[in-house]
Amino acid sequence: MILLRAVLLTFIFIYPVKANTIYNLIKIPNLEVYKINTQNKLKYFYATSSFRLGVQKNIVCLNPNKKDLDTKYNTIYKNLNKYSYNFLKKINLKYIVLCENLSISGINTAGIPDNIIKTLILDIKFNKDYFERVIHHEVFHVINDQHKELFNESEWIKFNASNFKYSECSTCTEKLGLNTYNKTKGFFTEYSKSTASEDMAEVYSHLIFLNTEKINQIRKSDIILNKKISYIENKIKKIDNYFTF
Amino acid sequence: MIKKIKASSSEKIIFIFLILLGIITSGTYFVIKNKCLFIKNYNPKNINFQNPDNIAILNAPCGNVIIELYPNISPKGVKRFEALIRSNAYENVAFHRVIKNKLVQAGDLEFGKKGSLDYGKIGTGKSGLGTIKSEIDNKFNYVKGSVGLARTFKNDTEDSQFFIILQDEPLFEGEYTPVGKVLYGLEVLKKIKHQRHSEYILRPDFINSFKMLN
């Protein structure tokens, strides 16, 4: 124990204090600036080496390679540029962290929002088929976290058929499919059936991603989805009346 | 009878060398000890300012730091900062957080006053005037010498603490309320006492005075 203390003290005294502005701002280590002068003032960071977060260090993400990063950054930038500075301010999103193989307790995930530190961590390698839509799905979680009072899950559940039940959590189900159903029947994807908040995020991401004609077509053919779409539209308009889908 | 021994020329050279060495050593000691030796102390009376009403002079151990305040960018932040300056609230307040070549932070009126420093709480003190809203929407380039109001992890918690950056910090834009910029005397701030292994300073330097020009 004494030896351990001595080693720690030696390390503290030898190692000079080195201020890291990014770490001071968002408390995520090993990040560098990728791009900060963007139109909507979103600031993009990338992991220079792997990092672990959380009290139990159960959130892990690896550093991406330069080529993947450059390619995916363009896609992410194009999609997130749809959001105005004012809207981003209202949902408290300012920093995007780009990394690879993001996981929580060993379960892979596309993104982790944290509205307290105004940050969305994105896995740039997550499901390339639905990558763009998933970006908006994760943005919805940021919106939901910031405006919890607006998105009432009990109200939402009532839109579904009375015999339908969501799972206990988004990771305790096998319903993980992200491909959009041809026959929707109240849900855009299999993953929509996991939990109410994931269902909301799927509706939101489709609203952003699909064109108006397709959305109108779905609204006409699916009464449940029509209600869900209207619900999300109304709530988003309450946050920012100038928001356009 | 004592025989007088004459010093040889090589002994004389060694003797002179030792005397010179002594002079140089003691001279160097005083030069090193005086950290302010090559720091220019600006006298605001000798400078013509465009906006003299917005000029504040912070006097630190190595001299004056002349700051221009920007009420157009952060009206409420500057109003609070100026009110505290005019009430001499910052006198004898510690530069409690200093990161070499990066930033100096001061303004803890509760736990950072000379004579009643509280090392356990320094950096968490309040002014008693309450917190003010963050003003982070206006464009402001956080370049070297920029002065901003410090806050807790949350917005709208600015009070009396402020920082001055010693290097460009573009990520600070939109995060911290800017209140001004150092016009003269940045070198004075680089001489504020810092520590190699900690941001928080044991036996820190203090603000001697902080006054508005007019």
Q: Is any Cβ of chain B less than 8 angstroms from the Cβ of A17?
A: yes
Per-window interface: B 133-172 vs A, CB < 8 A: 153, 169-172
Count CB atoms within 10 A of the CB of residue A212.
9
* B175 interaction partners in chain A (CB closer than 8 Å): 25
Ranking A7-11, A80-84, A232-236, B180-184 by mean pLDDT, the lowest is A7-11
- Confidence label for B35 from pLDDT (cuts 50, 70 and 90): confident
What pLDDT was estimated at residue B95? 97
pLDDT at A146 over 60: yes
What pLDDT was estimated at residue B2? 66
Q: A33 and B171 in contact by Cβ < 8 A?
A: yes
Per-window interface: A 38-97 vs B, CB < 8 A: 41, 43, 94
CA–CA distance from B211 to each of B56, B77, B96, B202, B207 (Å)? 6, 17, 20, 26, 11
Asked if residues B93 and B113 have their Cβ atoms less than 8 Å apart, the reply is yes
Each residue's pLDDT tens digit, A68-127: 999 999 999 999 999 999 999 999 999 999 999 999 988 889 999 998 899 999 999 988
- Confidence label for A2 from pLDDT (cuts 50, 70 and 90): low
Written as six digits, the tokens of A90 are: 């209202």
Ranking A41-45, B147-151, B199-203 by mean pLDDT, the lowest is B199-203
Asked if residues A22 and A45 have their Cβ atoms less than 8 Å apart, the reply is yes
Buried/exposed code over A2-18 (b: 16+ C-beta within 10 A; e: otherwise): eeeeeeeeeeeeeeebe
What pLDDT was estimated at residue B14? 92
Buried/exposed code over A171-185 (b: 16+ C-beta within 10 A; e: otherwise): eebebeebebbeebe
Q: B174 and A25 in contact by Cβ < 8 A?
A: no
pLDDT at B42 over 50: yes
Domain ranges of chain B: 8-37, 44-212
Q: What is the mean pLDDT of chain B?
A: 93
Asked if residues B112 and B125 have their Cβ atoms less than 8 Å apart, the reply is yes
What pLDDT was estimated at residue A174? 64
Q: Is any Cβ of chain B less than 8 angstroms from the Cβ of A21?
A: yes
Asked if residues B189 and B205 have their Cβ atoms less than 8 Å apart, the reply is no
By Cβ distance, the residue of A16, A33, A37 closest to B197 is A16
| DSSP collapsed to 3 states, A132-185 | HHHHHHHHHHHHHHHCCCCCCHHHHHCCCCCCCCCCCCCCCCCCCCCCCCCCCC
Q: What is the mean pLDDT of residues B163-178?
A: 95
CA distance A189 to A225: 11
Asked if residues A64 and A82 have their Cβ atoms less than 8 Å apart, the reply is no
The answer to whether domain B44-212 has CATH 1.20.1440.230 is no
Q: Is any Cβ of chain B less than 8 angstroms from the Cβ of A36?
A: yes
A26: nearest CA in chain B? B153
Which residue did the predictor score with more confidence, B107 or A172?
B107
CA–CA distance from B182 to each of A161, B44, B78, B186, B199 (Å)? 65, 13, 14, 7, 22
- Confidence label for A1 from pLDDT (cuts 50, 70 and 90): low
User: Min CA distance, A94 vs chain B (Å)?
Assistant: 9
* B199 interaction partners in chain A (CB closer than 8 Å): 17, 19
Instruction: Kindly state the percentage of chain B with pLDDT values over 70.
Output: 97
What pLDDT was estimated at residue B85? 98
Q: Is any Cβ of chain B less than 8 angstroms from the Cβ of A16?
A: yes
* B198 interaction partners in chain A (CB closer than 8 Å): 17
Q: A17 and B170 in contact by Cβ < 8 A?
A: no
What pLDDT was estimated at residue B25? 87
CA distance B177 to B77: 7
Complex prediction ipTM: 0.74
pTM: 0.82
By Cβ distance, the residue of A17, A22, A36 closest to B198 is A17
pLDDT at A8 over 80: no
What pLDDT was estimated at residue A12? 47
pLDDT at B5 over 80: no
What pLDDT was estimated at residue A182? 81
Domain ranges of chain A: 12-146, 148-245
By Cβ distance, the residue of B100, B175, B195 closest to A25 is B175
CA distance B149 to A71: 38
CA distance A114 to B198: 29
- Mark out the alpha helices in chain B (DSSP H runs): 9-33, 75-86, 186-190
First-residue to last-residue Cα distance in chain A: 60
Each residue's pLDDT tens digit, A10-66: 544 445 555 688 998 999 999 999 999 999 999 999 999 999 998 888 999 999 999
Q: Among A149, A146, A79, which residue's Cα sits nearest to residue A110? A: A79
CA torsion angle A216 A217 A222 A226 (round to 10): 0
The SS3 assignment for A97 reads strand
Which residue did the predictor score with more confidence, B5 or B117?
B117
Written as six digits, the tokens of A234 are: 């109304």
Q: B170 and A25 in contact by Cβ < 8 A?
A: no
Q: A19 and B175 in contact by Cβ < 8 A?
A: no
- Compute the count of residue pairs across chains A and B with CB atoms less than 8 Å apart: 30
User: Min CA distance, A16 vs chain B (Å)?
Assistant: 5
DSSP B124-178: S---SS--B-----S-----TTEEEE---SSSS-B-S-EEEESS--GGGTTTSEE
What pLDDT was estimated at residue A13? 47
Q: B171 and A17 in contact by Cβ < 8 A?
A: no
Interface test with A, best of B197, B198, B199 (most A CBs within 10 A): B197
CA distance B129 to B144: 29
Count CB atoms within 10 A of the CB of residue A217.
12
Q: What is the mean pLDDT of residues A137-155?
A: 96
Q: A21 and B196 in contact by Cβ < 8 A?
A: no
* A116 interaction partners in chain B (CB closer than 8 Å): 153
What pLDDT was estimated at residue A30? 95
- Confidence label for B98 from pLDDT (cuts 50, 70 and 90): very high
Q: In what order do the strands lie in the sheet with B55-60?
A: B97-99, B103-106, B162-165, B146-149, B177-184, B63-69, B55-60, B209-212
CA distance A35 to B30: 48
Each residue's pLDDT tens digit, A166-184: 877 666 666 667 888 888 8
Q: What is the mean pLDDT of residues B173-178?
A: 94
